[in-house]
Amino acid sequence: MSITFNETDKLFVISTNNTEYAFKVRHDRFLVHLYYGEKGKSNYDFKANYRSFSPYLPNVGEGFSLNDDFIEFPFYGSGDFRATSLKLRAPAGDCCTSFVYKSHEIISGRKIIKGIPCARAQEGTETLIIHMADEVTGCLLNLYYTVFPKHDIISRYFTLENAGKETVKIEKAMSLSLNLVGHDYDMISLYGAHMEERNIQRSAVVMGNQRVFSRRGASSHQFNPFMALVGKDTDETKGDVFAFNFVYSGNFLDEVEVDQNGHTRVQVGLGDEDFGFKLEAGESFEAPEAIMMYTPNGLGDMSRKMHSFVREAIVPRDPMEKRPIVLNTWEACYFDIDQQKLIDFAYEGVKYGMDMLVMDDGWFGARNDDKAGLGDWFTNTEKFPDGLAVFVDKVKASGMKFGIWIEPEMINPDSDLYRAHPEWCISCKDRTGSLSRSQYVLDFANPAVLDYLKKSFKETFDGVAIDYIKWDFNRHISEPGSPYLPADRQDEATFRFMLGVYDLFYWFMETFPNVMIENCSGGGGRYDLAMMSVSTQIWTSDNTAGRIRPFIQYGSLMAYPSYVMSCHVSNPMVVEDYMNLIDYKFKVALAGMLGYELNILHMGDDVKNEIKKQTAFYRSVEKLIKFGDLYRLVSPFENNGTTAYYYVSTPDSGENYADRILLTYLQNEGVNDGSTITLKISEADANATYKDSVSGETFSGKELNDGINFKMYENNMHGNLWLFERV
Ligand code: DGJ
């Protein structure tokens, strides 16, 4: 049993394989958090200091304040002056609530969240549901705690039901709140921009409030919902890590606040900016799911557990046994595509081990550049005179599979759709909407918009043998309003937009059940757990430059697995160094799921033969990368771009532990002083002998444990691979 309740002490304990989370009911009504950490290390007696100036309730008395104790789910206006989880505007106009514990239930498995992706129940999953009520508004609050024992993860969210007689409005909604003792932590978050996603930032937690967030209507390139609090001495192999994430792709808030007692509160949720939700009598609201995990074993252990959680509980399906090695037309041709050229691509690509042609942007409407056509999802017959179905059959006759690009949430003002329905765009009444990449965002809160899209995709794709869809999203939401919603629901626009997005994803998954969806948002602008729940992999970044890409991938792997990380070898930019660049970019791409984005028709035989070797090598290690355990050795963020890591085989990758180890070394900046770097493979079996199938050299496992010494290159952008195989 993962969840227990001790009636005498009114104590709840939620256990994963290695961790424990505990809280109790105090004074018969308040939920007070006691412990989160390693299993068996607490007697659950934590009590925060009572401080003067902290309000107390007359019928409870001095000595207990909602402002000092570790309140499990804190409410705005309850006397808790710290960041709170729920702000609810009552019919009287104030925002005070006092939800008290009423009862609870423990169920096996989990409940799903209506219309929003959530993690799938795993072996041993149980859910604790706490029922609370606020007497004045009549609202009922349910707190959900779902356990994923093997992954040491507990998920959290709430639902709110207006069982009162009058309308209320949610003005802040945080799915997860956690109080931690002390504030001797560093906060790790992932920040960035388009083409520079998921840089790793580590900074000390300080008194006051620190936040990462998105106000862009997408989880965004700028901050990622993942965040961790770690001990000061935590590194890859040791130390406390409390990690958090949010299964949602729109605006979010992760906040960390240190109180007057020096204790830390962490919250994850929709936040209070650009979010509101009106609940009329009888209506209810379900918040997205947040997850938390704890490990005492450092960042490497955290990442590996997160990786297997995403593979097993988040990604919905992998319709193909082997991930396709795509040849994507974007960086090869941009908008300059037509039927014959793409058929030629397919016949050429298949010779070198590529197995899916992905037709990117430019195939529909009047889409000859990024100024027109979005919204008009019918085939451009000038470029594809035989129609989509015949063209796709011709591509597939080459032996290649076929993928196609779409961007359903968007509309160009220069499109038939906009001319017919200008009122279908997200906008604020009487205000001119801002453009971004010459496009507006469709109002997915409006069911008519979704109906139109479903109908047009059904018509265009009906009878077309599509194997894969690349789903893009290339701008953020400014002027966040919905012409469809009434004035008093305008602050619901971005949340309802996301519900519409998930609705369309679910429709695609149902209508085209064998199609693999690759997610994209100008690269990795929606690189989040909810998008991973409706797709198989994500285009990591539009930046494929060898110098930058190792940073982006290294940062992405902190929280998300190789399994979802789409990595392409693109057109080398420096023509003189073509062979090295194609080699280096391949070594970089080998961190995740391989693809190509180059004009194969323009490549010389030397490059094409190199690609043939690359695709064959990738196939030989695909399972090891996809399911193996990742160990990071050298961080580009701390070493001027130099990066090293390895994947070790596990039963998940179909082999014995450490039968094979794939080590990658990438060097972005040259050193001319002949330094060597030592790469220690701690996971090699000390008693085994390994042969590196790349160089042919033999090593004892002990030698690998102690570290191989590698003489750094004199020039930039060189890399090395070792594939150690147990002999
Ligand atoms: C942005 C994506 O990230 C690119 O890969 C490509 O699909 C373009 N959009 C097409 O417009």
Which residue among 314, 345, 367 closes a domain?
314
Which residue among 258, 283, 314 closes a domain?
314
19 located within any domain: yes
User: What is the CATH classification number for the domain harbouring 691?
Assistant: 2.60.40.1180
Instruction: From the candidates 542, 629, 659, 685, give the one annotated as an active-site residue.
Output: 542
Residue 558 confidence (pLDDT) above 90? yes
Query: How many angstroms separate the alpha carbon of residue 285 from the centre of ligand 1?
Result: 35
63 located within any domain: yes
Residue 592 confidence (pLDDT) above 80? yes
Atom of ligand 1 nearest to the CA of 470: 7
In angstroms, the CA 226 to CA 44 distance is 28
Q: What is the pLDDT of residue 572?
A: 62
Distances from the Cα of 616 to the Cα of 588, 620, 666, angstroms: 16, 6, 21
Partners of residue 326 on adjacent β-strands: 356, 595
- Select from 358, 436, 474 the residue to mutate for testing ligand 1; criterion: most ligand atoms less than 8 Å from CB: 474
Query: How many angstroms separate the alpha carbon of residue 361 from the centre of ligand 1?
Result: 7
Residue-by-residue DSSP string for 429-497: TTSPPPPBTTBEEB-TTSHHHHHHHHHHHHHHHTT----EEEE-------S---TTS-GGGGGGHHHHH
In angstroms, the CA 231 to CA 226 distance is 17
Which residue among 252, 286, 314 closes a domain?
314
Average pLDDT along the chain: 96
Residues of the domain holding 707: 651-726
For 322-379, the pLDDT digits (tens) are 999 999 999 999 999 999 999 999 999 999 999 999 999 999 999 999 999 999 999 9
Atom of ligand 1 nearest to the CA of 542: 3
For 419-474, the pLDDT digits (tens) are 999 999 999 999 999 999 999 999 999 999 999 999 999 999 999 999 999 999 99
Query: How many angstroms separate the alpha carbon of residue 331 from the centre of ligand 1?
Result: 9
Q: What is the pLDDT of residue 574?
A: 54
Q: What is the pLDDT of residue 575?
A: 56
Instruction: From the candidates 472, 491, 583, 692, give the one annotated as an active-site residue.
Output: 472
Residue nearest to atom 2 of ligand 1 (CA): 522
Contacts of 684 (CB under 8 A, 6+ apart): 658, 661, 690, 701, 704, 705, 724
Atom of ligand 1 nearest to the CA of 597: 5
What percent of the chain clears pLDDT 70, i.e. is strictly above it? 99
Residue nearest to atom 11 of ligand 1 (CA): 361
User: What is the CATH classification number for the domain harbouring 303?
Assistant: 2.70.98.60
For 301-311, the pLDDT digits (tens) are 999 999 999 99
Is residue 416 flagged as an active site residue?
no
What type of residue sits at position 538? I
Average pLDDT score over residue span 397-409? 98
394 located within any domain: no
Average pLDDT score over residue span 177-187? 97
pLDDT band at 259 (very low <50, low <70, confident <90, very high): very high
DSSP H/E element including 416: helix 416-420
Contact 424, 482 (CB under 8 A): no
More confident of the two residues 50 and 299 = 299
Query: How many angstroms separate the alpha carbon of residue 553 from the centre of ligand 1?
Result: 18
Is residue 259 flagged as an active site residue?
no
In angstroms, the CA 578 to CA 604 distance is 10
In angstroms, the CA 387 to CA 409 distance is 24
Atom of ligand 1 nearest to the CA of 370: 11
Q: What is the pLDDT of residue 571?
A: 81
Residue nearest to atom 3 of ligand 1 (CA): 522
632 located within any domain: no
Query: How many angstroms separate the alpha carbon of residue 568 from the centre of ligand 1?
Result: 13
Atom of ligand 1 nearest to the CA of 520: 3
Query: How many angstroms separate the alpha carbon of residue 600 from the centre of ligand 1?
Result: 19
Query: How many angstroms separate the alpha carbon of residue 253 from the centre of ligand 1?
Result: 27
- Ligand 1 pocket, residues with Cβ under 6 angstroms: 330, 360-361, 405, 472, 474, 520, 522-523, 539, 542
Contact 522, 407 (CB under 8 A): no
667 located within any domain: yes
711 located within any domain: yes
What pTM did the predictor assign?
A: 0.98
694 located within any domain: yes
- Find tokens 């969840």 and name the residue: 3
246 located within any domain: yes
The domain total for the chain is 2
